[in-house]
Amino acid sequence: MTRAMTITEKILADHAGLDAVSPGDLVNARVDVALGNDITAPIAIREFRELGAQKVFDRERVILVPDHFTPAKDIKSAIQVKTVREFAMEQELVHWYEGGESGVEHALLPEKGLVVPGDLVIGADSHTCTYGALGAFATGVGSTDLAAAMATGEVWLKVPETIRFVFNGAPGPWVEGKDLVLYTIGKIGVDGALYQAMEFTGPAIDNLSMAGRFTICNMAIEAGGKNGIIAPDAKTLAYVEGRGLRKHTLFSSDPDARYIKTIVFDCSQIEPQVAFPHLPENTRPVSQAGDVPIHQVVIGSCTNGRIEDMRSAARVLKGNKADRRVRLIVIPATPLVWRQAMAEGLFGIFLDAGAVISPPTCGPCLGGHMGILADGERCVATTNRNFVGRMGHAKSEVYLANPAVAAASAVAGKIAHPADVAGK
């Protein structure tokens, strides 16, 4: 009789051609998608050639998206993109996105149907875990692992233990997926799920939009997680239908699956969160933020750059103007989000508020461009990391929050609750 398994274990067993796996097992697994970007892919390409490989294992499943320093911010970044572009052309890759077709990779791939439920996805970027929101196993790897996967279509993995997070209750006003994951990281710490699968369940997760689910799984890595995952349901299937380019497989955890631990939260007790410098675990409710003047707000990234995030920010910014001491930067994550925001009139709201609207890019999230911080400057960002020097100068500070809190802070000139600017 096959042992009871979690959704993560089932996907790994399926892709390793095994009836069952257990935490700690080492498996060689088939890869559905191998992803690289303009920072990590050049190294993978070099290692691919050193392996003596001539052709990628599947030109439809190796996906390259230059998004971190693009549009190219300097000569070095232009050379990085040139290296990736030439490889994509040489290998005749089907899914190569640049310029007006490019977007922040972890928003772009689901949007284009390139990841479906049941997939095993590796990416040379730590936030590859985003795709767990679709019921896929997705994890970040190093560039050398990506090189091997590009050549063979396989990856070597250790099966992780799983922590089950149960979110009960109904979140209150202005509480979004970002707040649930920040609250979680605040409770368990940045190493609280080290090399463990984070399985998110419960009524509050069921009621979240796909955008909120992507946000939660995106930040599993900020707790040290190997992957974040949510079992697919009707919302998942509605998102994938008409979008998915391949047949999907639905997995779910067995009722008697074994977890290393189960952690239960009451979402009715969670208010909008802010992660203070310099770790995502340094969270507190926005009502306890105190008087923190700011100089910049960034709304975007693979964490919160989707159309729902744009709408959330616009709801707060409508009829308001950013404080004259604050630079407000809005970055729709993909061309489709950009087009939707423009069509819905959100750009008018942002421009009236004094915002700069950027083309899709990771940009300031990693201190790349489009909003670098100077010595002593503070930024409220909807991004995923607030490490020392993450967005610029080593003596700058980044505060993580949801789009509504970020927008309210831009108007107030300091960290603020959305209700203080937009009402209940």
Indicate which CATH number applies to the domain containing 285. Answer: 3.30.499.10
Q: Are residues 184 and 288 in the same domain?
A: no
pLDDT at 424: 66
Classified as helix, coil or strand, 231 is: coil
pLDDT at 261: 96
Secondary structure in 3-state letters for 82-122? HHHHHHHHHCCCCCECCHHHCCCHHHHHHHCCCCCCCCEEE
pLDDT at 213: 98
pLDDT at 3: 86
pLDDT at 398: 97
Residue showing tokens 């707790």: 223
Classified as helix, coil or strand, 10 is: helix
Helices 75-90/41-50 angle, 10° precision: 50
The DSSP element (H or E) to which 34 belongs, if any, is strand 33-37
**Residue span of the structural domain in which 308 resides:** 274-422
Q: What average pLDDT values come out for the chain (424 residues) when binned by 10 residues?
A: 89 97 97 97 96 96 95 94 97 95 96 98 97 98 96 97 97 96 97 96 97 98 97 97 92 96 96 96 95 97 97 97 97 97 98 97 92 96 94 96 98 96 78
Strand partners, 40: none
Q: Are residues 135 and 278 in the same domain?
A: no
Q: Are residues 296 and 252 in the same domain?
A: no
pLDDT at 25: 97
- Tell which of 264, 283, 314 closes a domain: 264
Residue 170 lies in a domain: yes
Residue 2 lies in a domain: no
Residue 3 lies in a domain: no
Please confirm whether the linkage preceding 278 is cis (ω < 30° from 0): yes
The answer to whether 301 and 313 have CB atoms below 8 angstroms apart is no
Q: Are residues 197 and 340 in the same domain?
A: no
pLDDT at 2: 73
Helices 41-50/143-152 angle, 10° precision: 60
pLDDT at 271: 96
Residue 200 lies in a domain: yes
Strand partners, 175: none
How many helical (H) and strand (E) elements, i.e. helices and strands, does the chain have? 15, 17
